[in-house]
A and B are shown apart, each in its own frame.
Chain A
Amino acid sequence: MKASTVSSTAAASQPANQINVNAPRKSFLARFQRWEWMLVALVVIAIVINSRLTPYFLNAQNLSRTSADFMELGLMMLPMVFIIITGNIDLSVASNLGMCASFMAVLWNLHVNIWIAAGAGLALATLGGLLNGFLIAKVKLPALVATLGTYAFFRGIAYVLLGDQAGRGYPPAFTYLGQGKIPGTLIPFSVGLFAVLAVVFGLVLHRTTFGRYIFSIGNNENASIYAGVQVARIKMTIYIVSGFMAGLAGLVLAARFGSTRPDIGTGLELTVITAAVLGGVDINGGIGTMPGAVLSLLLIGLVRFGMGLKNVQDQVQSIAIGSLLILSILLASVARTISASGLKFNWRNIATAAAFIIVFAAFFFFFFWSRAPVLKSVFG
């Protein structure tokens, strides 16, 4: 093409607008991204392995009881997904849970009505979330530092409140929160609660302006500010919600245990964050789905349950969960590399593959740590 012969005014020479209005948005299933499908596959694998490992797995009673064990995690994970998508973090949730439960226990020990005590605990936890939100959204402290501070602070308050005492002897109406079942079914009340809230949180994240703002903040906070998104108010809101949900998880956990000590729920925050990240929520913010997070919680629950049935020690279970996290992230990275540039044998790919194999081996090793015959029952 001879350039000099082309002469026309600008813009007019450009082809007409090429956007196709009818180009459909990807269908829901297509948007159910690869990550979620991988989780679905892992869940199926976990179910198959579990059911071959032990006849007790596919037992409705067992499933019902076990599922309740993960609901505190789930309740805290829902707002954590929001927070991580905005590019922040909340390390203080489990401490806040402890503060809420301890405050309630103290009031209960002082013969306050259990529902008033529970409400007060919930209010204190919400206040804790407000403090986090204030430090992060208004004082503009980095979320990691601010919640690392309140992580120690809230737990400290729990110990100050309860000391060496314990709250116990809660009335059945209260313990129903953690131990009861929805009438006429085997479904624990806490599971029902989580299911309803998961749907609500999922709809808010994916179907409302608030959810869209959460994604836009995580992707580009500055551009969101310029676009008139009230970034500070939204951050504040999600931290308050996170505090409230940590409080709710505290009530459910106290009800499930039937007693409260100040160290209640210690360390749960890491499992909560693990569940969110394993669910495909990008720790750098901007990316994530609620279905993915819920699937990953299910997966963690199944793996722990399976190992529990086989009497695998708790510490070993942690190793397995940790390997699972690294494994799935490696798997996604391998899949991305292959889809981007085809199979290539350079050092980086070989190193990734080696890491994958090592972690995979470690995972299996620890999964079947306790008894070798287990291998036979799976493969034999």
Chain B
Amino acid sequence: MLNPELKLNPKLFNPDVEQVPIRKGFGQGLLAAGEVDKNVVGLCADLTESTQMNLFAEKFPERFIEMGVAEQNLAATASGMAAMGKIPFISSYAMFSPGRNWEQIRTTICYNDRPVKIAGSHAGVSVGPDGGTHQAIEDIAITRVIPNMQVISPCDAIEAKKATLAIAKTKFPTYLRLVREKTPIITTEETSFEIGKAQVYWIPDVGLAQVGIVATGALLYKALLAAKELEAEGIKVKVMNLPSIKPIDSEALIILAKETKAIVTVEEHQVAGGMGSAVAEVLSQNYPVPIEFIGVHDKFGQSGTPDELVEHYGMGKDSIKDAVRKVLKRKS
């Protein structure tokens, strides 16, 4: 059942569950952050509406810089603004920022330790028809590897808004991973969010869980659907939402591993270097258990509908259920 303490969306399993793009939550969060702190500034590389920075740009035109299609300059200019006390949010598609401008992010933002917030929209294969060039599935790997950087991947628009407000208050460079398509609303305004914290969203009705599923981003919804069906089939699982990939909640992961002794990670990203790898780094050193990884296995994306692509690359509900059954067998 859904963890009652976390006040999640009670209509989550309804067929007509409300769906909102995660990037919308960023747009609202940035507007709110701008109202709280006059040092918050926005810079965008010719995708202001698409990344939802338009809400901020319309309200605070004097604090918004249109950069044109120049993501390298986007990152380095933001670093200079941060050097003067600003809290810059930069936005583009994840493939171009932090994709195209990775070295600018490393040198001018992270090496300088400047509090620039990098909002990368259109992450994952669920970008859909635009095809593989625009589907960032390497972004978690290339950002979490940089010292000083935080990496946050919200599961829905409400969590994205909270995350945007939270990262505006920290002094760390931060990558915020956003998704284009509408995805189900999982949390509510009452659900807590904290950088560095993971929470268990699904718990067995009674008894201990046999498998722990750790999910990040919108695929958390598929993991919850899988958990509900597995429960009906007699397999008890816990589903953890892990929005904060760096810093990672090692303590919560170790507790989950100790209870379940088998883990499945779920992310819309390459298996290599992503959230699952981060989880494996923690558990292999502290409490080694079998892990199955749901994600893209060393392939590029392609055109299609989001659902077709999620299924094709083995990240849908049934793939998650299969992975749970597989890891259960590996336990003994």
Binding between chains A and B: no
Give B residues with C-beta under 8 Å from A.
Answer: none
